[in-house]
Chains A and B, each alone.
Chain A
Amino acid sequence: MTATLNTTSETMPPMVEMRGIVKRFPGVLANDHVDFELRAGEIHGLLGENGAGKSTLMNVLAGLYKQDAGTIKVNGNPVIFSSPRDAIKAGIGMVHQHFMLVPSQTVTENVLLGLDEPRFFMRLSEYDSRIAELGRKFGLSVDPRAKIWQLSVGEQQRVELLKMLYRGANVLIMDEPTAVLAPQEIEGLFNTLRAMVAQGKSVIFISHKLNEVAAIADRVTVLRRGKGTASGVPSRGVTRQELAQLMVGREVVFFVAKKPCKPGDVVLDVKAIHAENDKGLPALRGLSLNVRAGEIVGVAGVAGNGQNELSQVITGLRKCRQGEVMLNGDKVSNRDTLFGIQHGMAYIPEDRTHVGSAPNLSVTDNVIMKNYRKSPISKGGMLDMPAATKFANELKQAYDIIVPTVNTPVRLLSGGNLQRVILAREISGQPNFMVAVQPTRGLDVGAIEGVHRLLLAQREAGAAVLLISEELEELLSLSDRVYVIYEGKIMGEIQVGGAEPNEGLVEVVGLMMTGTPLEQIRKEGVAA
């Protein structure tokens, strides 16, 4: 099949051609001169880490965003989309990660929603059979009369696909379609996509999962931090290691000078924990790790492999079904969050605005979040406001928090400043253990350095630090040991402390991040 495809694609213009696409958001360059090309009848994988700019690029193609620069051609004709309606008219439809369906309505009603038909009389039975017919043609079996809420997530995804096919889409953009699916549903989806391609449709498959892209895509485009690192390479001709490197980058930009590690006793001991995510699917499957006093231990992995759930189980925000987490010999899992706080645990959550701070409360109110129960802030059930203000002003000075007064609500602070507020609060409690999740996400270089220095200072002060990050460079330069997490399991553990991170190390970690256990790599060797 691929052979015939190649001959046609050389004579015909590409189905979709995007050149030099630039899209800026306040403070972020989401797409920086990205090229993308889709041929007729192919499945094209769009690969990249979270925040690499994949969804932004495809939202531009689907008419949701307008590019700041660059051109789009469909079948060789330049197009300008100002709404998804324009895109669908040109035959481009997008299935979003979060479905846009009305739960109380039937499949047929959802497919017809927003169309001009039926014009007046709702003779739905006629449309039911038409939609069932369409479903049969593309291998999307779903009962047209079923209500959406009765359907499984996989079936709902088929309804989204039917919506696009019914509107005459020839190019189907699937945004992280497997993120919500169970393994057997993923196989079903892949069959559907293959069936659609066989019928002449083209598919863009957005994912950060290497294995899936390698399994389904004919060609691959890789994005990294808003830039294309590979454009339309055939997936047969590229190894998984190469893809992993294109995704996470091979260069180690900065190497942080640090004193040799003097690990002490085990502070945090995670013993074979199992936990579910918000959707009730298993997120952690028998994960174990430990952190000693005076060391930084990194957890590397592509987003969504259980990192969030891990930090939540450790801090008591999520229950674990099996196993336990010990902090200095005390059980902290399945206990109140307060227990950990009172036993010297600090937590820098990934989500600064929604978890780590109260946006409309003042800087003072935000920095006392962990110590308002203790003297000198607390005085017999009342808060000593002068003491709290003094404390806030001390932190403001010590951590360079740039804010007119400590009475300013924190929603007015920049990302870097807000992160300093959170770090100041967590570190000022002199923790013996700290979990930091993506502590530098979205910060500029200066702020990143500041965060790194603070984390290293914690290590030197003898605290145990668990650093969960998707920034491989950051992990390798800060950590003494790194665990690699994949689908809720630890793929392996590597010592990095002391040695300057090299390419071989990055390669091994990259392989583990995509699901190869360390033992297997050792047996087979890294050589590609």
Chain B
Amino acid sequence: MTKSISRPRWTGYRIKIEPRLDQPPGWYPAAVSVGAIAFALILGGILIAIAGGDPFLSYAHIARASFGEIGVFSDTIVKATPIILAALACSVAFRMKLWNIGAEGQFIMGAFGASAIVLTPILPPETTPWLFIPVMAMAGMAAGAVWGFIPGYLKAKYNVNEIISTLMLNYIAIAWVNYWIFGVWTEGGFQMSAKFPETTWLPRLSDYASTIPILRGLTTHLGLLLGIVAAVALWFVVFRSRWGYEIRLIGDNPRAAQYAGINIARNTVLVMALSGALAGLGGMSEVTGVIHRLQTAPLAAGYGFTGIIVAWLAKLNPLVIILVSILFGALILAGREIQPSGVPKMIQGIILVSLIASDFLLRYRVRFVRDSADTDAEE
């Protein structure tokens, strides 16, 4: 089972790739990931230099624009918040090998569900935030859960491919919200609803600036806390609960799960609904924490798709998702600072490919061997 890549004879060496038969030490995966990011940044730097830029200046600028001071760091966090929740949504579905690529649509439906509480209106505008926010969070999660339940049920009952159904439901979600903001809740014919009353807004750090002056201008909102609480809760569900054990078992070997008496169809539906609910909470957080009105364009900004990438990079670990989301929030924010499109997106892509490719080093061992040695190891 040994593959070898022959090198030209004059090098005298050959690269040998062998599958790992033992478990690498605990620090190894983290070290490989850090190495991969470093490699990506170096490669990105070379490309920036070729494009005529100064890589050191560019990177310094990116760092300053996303982590440089507390104000921009707060903006990074605001960008990261919806990504955290979308990535959590993807991670739980992916854990069971359910390829939910509909977090985008579930996110939008979550925003719609939360908005419906304000716009219908189900609760009057003067309701206290203490009631408003929990009700909207529930409505957002419920709407997202419905959007996850549909493909989950179709998969469990009729074996409908969830990749296709979740992808298509994304478009339906956008069209659905468009219908409401164009036709029913339109603000003077514009494609957006009226601004929500302030009682519905998620509290921001800047709201407390009158007592703690340092918080002035900081837009980080309660959504971050929702994201962190959801991540910790999800970690416990996946790694410490009976249900999470079933999810992990189905994900690793559905036949073994069946053999252990686990109902796969029921878990398919439940996990898809949970996934949708998490994405829906993300939509609720974004609409009540940042946008403050129902509007398609800023909601359908690709958070659900970024969530797919972040979930993979975090190896589906809910706690790691928080860190990776902040990194992605920074790249989105800083990217706009240096160039509207192009280089920052490219660096994102290089980091992504490097991290995914580095997984190879966890499963295989690469060795350099002398050409003369072990020729007999060949067949």
Interface residues of A (CB under 8 A from B): 26, 66, 315, 317, 336-342, 347, 349, 354-361, 365, 368-370, 372-373, 378, 381-383, 385, 404, 408-409, 412
9 interchain residue pairs of minimum CB distance: A338-B261, A358-B252, A337-B261, A358-B253, A369-B260, A341-B261, A358-B256, A360-B252, A355-B255
A358 to B242, CA, bound (A): 16
A311 to B85, CA, bound (A): 44
Closest chain-A Cβ to B376's Cβ sits at a distance in Å of: 12
**B252, A383: Cβ atoms under 8 Å?**
no
Q: Which residues of A contact B249 (CB under 8 A)?
A: 358, 361, 365, 369
Please pick, from A360, A365, A385, A409, the residue contacting B240 in the complex, using a CB distance under 8 A: A385
Q: Which residues of B contact A336 (CB under 8 A)?
A: 261, 263
* Given A336-B261, A341-B260: A383 in contact with B21 (beta carbons within 8 A): no
Closest chain-B Cβ to A351's Cβ sits at a distance in Å of: 8
* Given A337-B261, A409-B23: A357 in contact with B253 (beta carbons within 8 A): yes
Q: Which residues of B contact A383 (CB under 8 A)?
A: 240-242, 244-245
Q: Which residues of B contact A385 (CB under 8 A)?
A: 240
Q: For the A-B complex with A349-B259, A412-B23 known, give 11 more contacts whose Cβ atoms are closer than 8 Å.
A: A354-B255, A355-B256, A357-B253, A358-B248, A358-B256, A361-B248, A365-B248, A369-B249, A370-B260, A381-B241, A383-B242
Q: Which residues of A contact B23 (CB under 8 A)?
A: 404, 408-409, 412
Q: Which residues of A contact B1 (CB under 8 A)?
A: 26
B126 close to A (CB within 8 Å): no
Mask: chain B, 300-335; 1 = CB below 8 Å from A; 0 = not: 000000000000000000000000000000000000
Closest to A366 in B: B256
Closest to A336 in B: B261
Q: Which residues of B contact A355 (CB under 8 A)?
A: 255-256, 259
B374 close to A (CB within 8 Å): no
Chain B stretch 244-272: residues in CB contact (< 8 A) with chain A: 244-245, 248-249, 252-253, 255-263
Closest to B261 in A: A338
Most chain A beta carbons < 10 A, residue from B1, B236, B253, B258:
B253
Q: Which residues of A contact B240 (CB under 8 A)?
A: 382-383, 385
**B252, A361: Cβ atoms under 8 Å?**
yes
Closest chain-B Cβ to A476's Cβ sits at a distance in Å of: 29
A373 to B245, CA, bound (A): 10
* Given A26-B1, A317-B258: A373 in contact with B263 (beta carbons within 8 A): no
Q: Which residues of B contact A359 (CB under 8 A)?
A: 252-253
Q: Which residues of B contact A339 (CB under 8 A)?
A: 261
B69 close to A (CB within 8 Å): no
Chain B stretch 190-248: residues in CB contact (< 8 A) with chain A: 236, 240-245, 248
Closest to A340 in B: B261
Chain B contact-residue range equals 20 to 34
Q: Which residues of B contact A347 (CB under 8 A)?
A: 259
Interface residues of B (CB under 8 A from A): 1, 21-23, 236, 240-245, 248-249, 252-253, 255-263, 379
**B21, A381: Cβ atoms under 8 Å?**
no
Closest to A353 in B: B253
A88 to B151, CA, bound (A): 49
**B253, A372: Cβ atoms under 8 Å?**
no
**A357, B242: Cβ atoms under 8 Å?**
no
**A369, B256: Cβ atoms under 8 Å?**
yes
Please pick, from B242, B244, B259, the residue contacting A373 in the complex, using a CB distance under 8 A: B242
A341 to B22, CA, bound (A): 33
12 inter-chain pairs at a CB distance below 8 angstroms, sorted by A residue, are: A336-B261, A338-B263, A354-B255, A358-B253, A361-B249, A365-B248, A368-B245, A369-B249, A382-B236, A382-B240, A382-B241, A383-B240
Closest to B250 in A: A358
Q: Which residues of B contact A349 (CB under 8 A)?
A: 259
Most chain B beta carbons < 10 A, residue from A317, A341, A357, A358:
A358
**B259, A356: Cβ atoms under 8 Å?**
yes
Q: Which residues of B contact A340 (CB under 8 A)?
A: 261
Please pick, from B22, B248, B259, the residue contacting A317 in the complex, using a CB distance under 8 A: B259
Closest to A26 in B: B1
Q: Which residues of B contact A338 (CB under 8 A)?
A: 261-263
A338 to B266, CA, bound (A): 14
* Given A383-B242, A385-B240, A412-B22: A354 in contact with B253 (beta carbons within 8 A): yes
A356 to B236, CA, bound (A): 26
Please pick, from A354, A361, A381, the residue contacting B242 in the complex, using a CB distance under 8 A: A381
**A337, B259: Cβ atoms under 8 Å?**
yes
**B258, A337: Cβ atoms under 8 Å?**
yes
**B256, A381: Cβ atoms under 8 Å?**
no
Closest to A409 in B: B23
Closest to A351 in B: B255
Q: Which residues of B contact A381 (CB under 8 A)?
A: 241-243
Q: Which residues of A contact B245 (CB under 8 A)?
A: 365, 368, 372, 383
Closest to B255 in A: A355
* Given A365-B245, A365-B249: A357 in contact with B261 (beta carbons within 8 A): no
Closest to B23 in A: A408
Closest chain-B Cβ to A480's Cβ sits at a distance in Å of: 27
Closest chain-A Cβ to B207's Cβ sits at a distance in Å of: 36
Closest chain-B Cβ to A350's Cβ sits at a distance in Å of: 12
Q: Which residues of B contact A354 (CB under 8 A)?
A: 253, 255-256
Closest to B379 in A: A66
Q: Which residues of B contact A315 (CB under 8 A)?
A: 259
Q: Which residues of A contact B243 (CB under 8 A)?
A: 381
Closest chain-B Cβ to A437's Cβ sits at a distance in Å of: 12
**B261, A382: Cβ atoms under 8 Å?**
no
**A356, B256: Cβ atoms under 8 Å?**
yes
A357 to B254, CA, bound (A): 10
Closest to A405 in B: B23
Closest chain-A Cβ to B233's Cβ sits at a distance in Å of: 12
Closest to B26 in A: A407
Q: Which residues of B contact A26 (CB under 8 A)?
A: 1
Q: Which residues of A contact B236 (CB under 8 A)?
A: 382
Q: Which residues of A contact B21 (CB under 8 A)?
A: 412
A26 to B258, CA, bound (A): 30
Q: Which residues of A contact B262 (CB under 8 A)?
A: 338
Q: Which residues of B contact A372 (CB under 8 A)?
A: 242, 245
Closest chain-A Cβ to B379's Cβ sits at a distance in Å of: 6
Closest chain-A Cβ to B264's Cβ sits at a distance in Å of: 11
Q: Which residues of A contact B241 (CB under 8 A)?
A: 381-383
Closest chain-A Cβ to B336's Cβ sits at a distance in Å of: 40
A358 to B243, CA, bound (A): 16
A315 to B256, CA, bound (A): 13
Q: Which residues of B contact A368 (CB under 8 A)?
A: 245
Closest to A66 in B: B379
A26 to B19, CA, bound (A): 14
A154 to B21, CA, bound (A): 43
A259 to B293, CA, bound (A): 80
Q: Which residues of B contact A365 (CB under 8 A)?
A: 245, 248-249
Closest chain-B Cβ to A498's Cβ sits at a distance in Å of: 35
Q: Which residues of B contact A342 (CB under 8 A)?
A: 261
Q: Which residues of A contact B255 (CB under 8 A)?
A: 354-355
Closest chain-B Cβ to A332's Cβ sits at a distance in Å of: 12
A361 to B255, CA, bound (A): 14
Q: Which residues of A contact B257 (CB under 8 A)?
A: 358
Closest chain-B Cβ to A49's Cβ sits at a distance in Å of: 25
Closest to B21 in A: A412
A349 to B258, CA, bound (A): 12
Q: Which residues of B contact A382 (CB under 8 A)?
A: 236, 240-242
Q: Which residues of A contact B261 (CB under 8 A)?
A: 336-342, 370
Closest to B244 in A: A383
Closest chain-A Cβ to B246's Cβ sits at a distance in Å of: 8
A315 to B255, CA, bound (A): 13
A317 to B264, CA, bound (A): 13
Closest to A404 in B: B23
Q: Which residues of B contact A409 (CB under 8 A)?
A: 23
